[in-house]
Structure 1
């Protein structure tokens, strides 16, 4: 099975979907990653602020971080090989690497930003990220 790993810059919580200035790119990526997982894909996400040991233990991620710095992240590895740097992968890219057929864009992506943010925040809370900002309800 294909193993996809995303090593991303330090975010305030595991998803990066918290606070008042939520990045739509992170909401979209989180949804795409969840879709890959529900389709049986093996994808993992490592946040430098939350999981620095994952960077230290992975030779490729560690070397990339030392060479390009945090501003070069995210770096995406497929079966240990670097396939993408500097941006998050699209759903189509994740699907291709995981050997899946690409699904249509979910209706949630077409909602206004406030609704999409609320939906993502609710999902993050369900996944245990409610304590991401020091125990406040920022997620």
Structure 2
């Protein structure tokens, strides 16, 4: 089975699904990953703030950050190679890269257009995120 890992920018909690302004793209990715897990496919997900050692120990990701910086995150790694950078895979790309039927995600949003917003914090109350 193929090994997929997603390396994400620093967020206040492991999935980024906290605070008052939840990013719909992060919600889509979490839903896809939960669906994959329920169907026996594991995708590892690493957040820069909670798993910095994973970024350092992965050669491809470490090189990417040293050349492009953390602003290029997220990156998707498949079997040790970066296959997507700067965005999350679409549902179709998840299916194609992992060799699962796209129908696995029926009823789920295919893609979500997100306009990045600047924030001084994650919106978590008193530093408690998850």
| TM, length-normalised to structure 2 | 0.80
CA RMSD of aligned residues (A): 1.8
Pairing 1:1-139 to 2, within 5 Å after superposition = 1-102=1-102, 103=104, 104-106=106-108, 136=128, 138-139=129-130
Distance in 2 (alpha carbons) for counterparts of 1:49 and 1:6 = 14
Q: Which residue of 1 aligns with 2:113?
A: none
The whole-number CA distance in structure 2 between the counterparts of 1:78 and 1:32 is: 16
Shift of the 5–134 alpha-carbon distance from structure 1 to 2, 3 Å rule, reads farther
Gaps of 5+ in 1: 110-131
Gaps of 5+ in 2: 110-123
Report which of the two has the higher share of helix: 1
- Paired residue secondary structure (1:45): strand
Question: Once superposed, which parts of structure 1, at least 4 consecutive aligned residues long, lie more than 2 Å away?
Answer: 132-136
Give the aligned length: 114
Question: 1:22: how far off?
Answer: 1.1
Shift of 1:42: 2.7
Q: CA distance change for structure 1 residues 29 and 133 in 2, over 3 Å: closer, same or farther?
A: farther
